[in-house]
Amino acid sequence: MSNFVLKKHLWEVLIHYFILKKSVAESYIILWEAYGEYAPSQDTCERWFKHFKSDDFDVKDKERPGQPKKFEDQQLQALLGEVACQTQKQLAERLNVAQQTISDCLQAMGKILKEGKWVPRQLNERQMENRKVISKMLLQRHERKSFLH
């Protein structure tokens, strides 16, 4: 069962205990006995009981306050297009985000650092064909005249 499904399920179970007029502590103990380490903390149970007391029984995640993503992948792609030999640290400084954010985005974009440049992790069709042609040429040259002669 995915973590999200389990989380939503546990919220619904908490609503059930709230309607049965169980205390937060009782609800937490029951959930801990049933779900062990996957049970929500007692603080989480208290927070949800406060929602329920204010007639908020919506178990969907709400928008949270916080800093939105500061850049789009297109901005990162544009920076890579300008100068492909920038480090993650330099890219992070230019976009004013954490280096880990840049690392995650580059990985999601399928980019890898090779010889100081960010390149696609997978070869495209043209690159694969070029490698085949060069390999065949090298084999033919070896058959005509071995490098040991």
Q: Residue 107 falls within a domain, yes or no? A: yes
C-alpha span between 98 and 83 (Å, rounded): 19
How many structural domains is the chain composed of?
2
Q: In angstroms, what is the C-alpha Rg of the chain?
A: 28
Query: Could you tell me the CATH number of the domain that includes residue 104?
Result: 1.10.10
Greater model confidence, 77 or 147 = 77
Q: What is the pLDDT of residue 149?
A: 62
For residue 90, tell me if it sits in a domain.
yes
In terms of Cα–Cα distance, which of 109, 87, 110 is closest to 99?
87
Q: Is this prediction's pTM over 0.85?
A: no
How many C-beta atoms lie closer than 10 Å to residue 68's C-beta? 4
Among 26-30, 89-93, 128-132, 143-147, which is the least confidently predicted range?
143-147
More confident residue, 107 or 138: 138
Identify whether residues 7 and 48 lie together within a single domain: yes
pLDDT of residue 76: 80
- The reply to whether 85 falls in a domain is yes
Is the same domain home to 87 and 49?
no
In sequence order, what are the beta bridge partners of 114?
Answer: 117
Angle at 53 between CA 48 and CA 56, to 5 degrees: 70
- Range of the structural domain that residue 90 is part of: 73-120
Q: How far is residue 93 from each of residues 13, 96, 107, 117, 138, measured CA to CA in Å? A: 45, 5, 18, 18, 44
Statement to judge: residues 40 and 82 lie in one domain: no
Rounded percentage of the chain residues whose pLDDT exceeds 70? 84
